[in-house]
Structure 1
Amino acid sequence: MKYAKIISSGLYAPSKIMTNQEFERLVHFTIDPYFTEQIGINHRRLSNEEETPTYMAAEAAKRALARINMKPEEIDLIIVGTDTPEAISPPDAARVQYLIGAHKAEPLAFNVNASCANGALLLDIASRYIALGDYKNVLVIGVYAMTKFLSWKYSWEALFSDGAGALILTASDEPGYLGSVARCDGSWWYNWGIYMGAGTMNLQGFERGLHKLDLRAAYPATVNEEGWPLLLNRLMEKCNFSKDEIGMIFFTQVRKKTIQKVMETMGLAEEKAHMIMHKYGYTGSACVYMAYDDAFDEGKLNDLEGKVIIFLTSGVGYQQVAVAFRV
C-alpha cells in the first residue's frame, strides 16, 4: 500500500487590494473595527479580467512545481476544487492542465465542488487515488474568484477575496496520509450560495439576482465552533493519534475568533493554527493551501517531523471535512 505525502505548495494572490476603508466608502456600511478584530480581515484581493480562475489556479500550480523542480509532465492527476468556476462546463481542471504544460502527458483532470470544504476533500480524494496505486504524483488546486459574484452593496461581502493555492502529493512507503472524517447537513442548503442553475437560467433568474452570491440566512457561530472540535476528536480517534502529536492545523480562514475559540476548546496552543486572513482575506477553496504555503515560507513546518498536520474545511451546503497527514 502506498501513502500520499505532501511534497510541495504554491499560491497565487492578485496584487489589487481593497482596504476595509475603501470597502466602507463603496457600500456605505461600517465594518470596522469588527472585521479587523473579530474576522481578522483588513483588506481583500481583487482579481482583474486577466486573472481568471484557471489563470490563478495555473499560476499557483506552476509555483508548486517550480519549488521542487518538477516537470509538468510528471503530474499524473489534476484535481481543481472551486465553487467559482470559469465556466459551468468544461471543467477548469482541463484548462489548467493545458496552461501548466501538462497536456502532453495527458493526465486526468477534473473539478470538485464541495464549496469551501474543497481543500480537505481534495486531499482525501487524491490520497485515496494514490493508495490504490493508480497515480504517483497528484496536483490539487483550490481556487476562489468570489469577488466576481458580489453585488457590492452588503456589509458581509467584505469577507471575500480572490486567490489560488496548490499542493503536490506523491506516493510514499510511509505515512503520509492517515485518514479523514466528514459531516454534511443539507437542511442548510438554502442559506447561502449562488443559486443560478439549470432551473433558473432565464431572464427572471437574472432579474432576481440569482447569478450573484446571496446570503439568505446566516449560519450560527456554533456550526464551526462546535463542528470543528467534533471532527477533530473523531479524526484523532479514527487515525489513532493524540493532541500532543498535532503540529499544525489549517482551518478554513473564515473567522479569526472562531479559530481561536476552537483551539482553546481543544486545549491546543493558538500558534498551531496558522492564519492568513490578514494577508489575503477569505479565499474559500484556496485558503488552507495558501495557509500551508505561507506557513512553509515562514519556516513553521521545519520542525514538525513525526507530527500530524490537519486540514479542516467548511463550506456552505453545508459540509465539513478534516484530513490528517503524518509529516
Structure 2
Amino acid sequence: MIRRSVLLGTGSALPAKSVSNAELAERVDTSDEWIRERTGIANRYIADESETTSSLGTAAARAALDAAGVQPQAIDLIILATATPDQTFPASATKVQAALGINDCVAFDVAAVCSGFLYAVSVADSMIRSGAANTALVIGSETFSRILDWEDRTTCVLFGDGAGAVVLGAEESKDGARGILATKLHADGRHNQLLYVDGGPSTTGTVGKLRMKGQEVFRHAVTNLAAVLREVLDMAGESADNIDWVVPHQANARILDATARKLGLAPEKVIVTVDQHANTSAASVPLALDVAVRDGRIKPGDLVVMEAMGGGFTWGACLIRL
C-alpha cells in the first residue's frame, strides 16, 4: 500500500462584477474583435474594493470543503498560491485560516505566479506523503486587476480576478489507484524581463505594474508546457493516449491549442475557461478544474493532467487520477 494525496473536493469563487470585452473597450483603446482574435477571451471578472485575494480564496475554500464533506477543523495545512497577496505580510493563507475559524494549522503562501497552484499542490503532496499533513487546503487566488497598467492594452485585456481551491487528503491505496501520481516543477530565472512586475518592497517600495513581452512568452510556454507534460507522464508510466482531460493554465486560447497539437492531444480533451475568466494567474488551474468537475465532464476515475507556466519563468505539471 502507498500513502497518496487524493482529491476530496474542489471549489471556486469569482468577483461579483463581470466585464465583457465591449465594456472594457469603453475605457481601453481596444475592441472585442481584437481581443478575441488574439486571445480567445470574451469576458473577465474584476474585484471591487471589498473583494480581496483572501476573501476570494476563503469563498473558494468553503466551496471545496463543502464539496469534500470536510469540516474546517480537519484541515492541518493551508497553502495559498498568489502573486497578489492582501499584504506584504503576513501570508494571505493565515487570513483564510482565521476566516475559516481554524485556530491552529500550518499556513503559508507560495509565490510562483501562474504556476503557483502547481507549486502549492506539489508541496502539499510531499507533506501528505511524508506524514507531515493529513488534510490540506490548496488555494490559488488572485486580484491581478490591482497590478495592471490600464493604459497598456496589450496586457490589461488578458487578465482577470478569481480563486480556486482543492481539498487533498491522505489515503492508503494500491499503486496506480486514485490520487496524485506525479508532479514536476521547473524554474529558469534568466527570463525575468519577459514577464514581471516593475515594483516591489526591496527595489522601488511600490507595488508596481505587470509588464510582458507576449510573443516571447508564447514561444517559451508552448515548448515548456509540452515538455513538462511528457515528464509527468513518463514518471507515472502513462501515455498521452490514456489522458482523459488536460486542465491547463488559462493564459490564452492560442497557447492551449498549440500545446495540445504539440502533444497530439484531441482539442476536446482540453478544459477551456479562458473565454469567460481570462488569465487569473495562480487561480486559473483550480478554477478551470472546479468548473469541469461541477459540470460533470471530469468524473471519478478519470486521469487528469494539470499544467501551468508563469513569470520567472516557472512551470510545472501534476498527473492525478480522481
- Using the size of structure 2 for normalisation, the TM-score is 0.93
Residue matched to 2:186: 183
Query: Any residues of structure 2 matched to 1:91-170 within 5 Å, and which?
Result: 91-103=91-103, 106-155=104-153, 156-170=155-169
Residue aligned with 2:27, SS: helix
Question: Which one of the candidate residues 194, 198, 202 is aligned to 1:195?
Answer: 198
> Quick one: structure 1 residues 57 and 240, their matched pair in 2 at CA, closer, same or farther if it must change by over 3 Å?
same
Question: Which one of the candidate residues 255, 261, 275 is aligned to 2:272?
Answer: 275
Residue aligned with 2:121, SS: helix
- Report the CA distance between 1:228 and its aligned residue: 1.3
Question: Which one of the candidate residues 221, 226, 229 is aligned to 2:226?
Answer: 229
- Partner Cα separation in structure 1 for residue 277 and residue 218 of structure 2: 22
- Report the CA distance between 1:261 and its aligned residue: 1.8
- Report the CA distance between 1:46 and its aligned residue: 0.7
Residue aligned with 2:30, SS: coil
- Report the CA distance between 1:215 and its aligned residue: 3.1
Residue matched to 1:54: 54
- Report the CA distance between 1:30 and its aligned residue: 2.3
Residue matched to 1:67: 67
Give per-residue Cα distances to partners, 1:154-203, cap 9 Å, x unaligned. Answer: 1121011000000000011124111122322211112222232233345x
Residue matched to 2:10: 9
Residue aligned with 1:221, SS: helix
Contact 2:68 2:167 in 1 (8 A): no
Residue matched to 1:219: 216
- The one-letter amino acid of 2:84's match is T
> Quick one: structure 1 residues 216 and 251, their matched pair in 2 at CA, closer, same or farther if it must change by over 3 Å?
closer
- Partner Cα separation in structure 2 for residue 309 and residue 217 of structure 1: 28
- Partner Cα separation in structure 2 for residue 31 and residue 188 of structure 1: 30
Which is worse superposed, 70-79 or 149-158?
149-158
- Report the CA distance between 1:216 and its aligned residue: 6.1
Contact 1:119 1:311 in 2 (8 A): no
- Partner Cα separation in structure 2 for residue 314 and residue 81 of structure 1: 13
- Report the CA distance between 1:70 and its aligned residue: 1.5
- The one-letter amino acid of 2:21's match is N
Residue matched to 2:25: 24
- Partner Cα separation in structure 2 for residue 4 and residue 217 of structure 1: 36
- The one-letter amino acid of 1:290's match is L
RMSD: 1.6
- Report the CA distance between 1:290 and its aligned residue: 0.5
- Partner Cα separation in structure 1 for residue 64 and residue 227 of structure 2: 32
- The one-letter amino acid of 2:236's match is C
Residue aligned with 2:157, SS: helix
Residue matched to 2:313: 318
Where in structure 2 are there 5+ consecutive unaligned residues? none
Question: Which one of the candidate residues 281, 286, 290 is aligned to 1:284?
Answer: 281
- Report the CA distance between 1:255 and its aligned residue: 1.0
- The one-letter amino acid of 1:231's match is V
- The one-letter amino acid of 1:313's match is A
Give per-residue Cα distances to partners, 1:282-324, cap 9 Å, x unaligned. Answer: 111001001010001110112x51x421110111110111111
- Report the CA distance between 1:14 and its aligned residue: 0.8
| Percent of matched pairs sharing the same residue | 27
- The one-letter amino acid of 2:292's match is A
Residue aligned with 1:78, SS: strand
Give per-residue Cα distances to partners, 1:102-155, cap 9 Å, x unaligned. Answer: 22xx11100000111012111111111110012111000000101011231111
Residue matched to 2:43: 43
- The one-letter amino acid of 1:171's match is A
- Partner Cα separation in structure 2 for residue 108 and residue 34 of structure 1: 45
- Partner Cα separation in structure 2 for residue 40 and residue 217 of structure 1: 15
- Partner Cα separation in structure 2 for residue 195 and residue 37 of structure 1: 28
**Alignment length, in residue pairs?**
316
- The one-letter amino acid of 1:182's match is L
Contact 1:191 1:218 in 2 (8 A): no
- Using the size of structure 1 for normalisation, the TM-score is 0.92
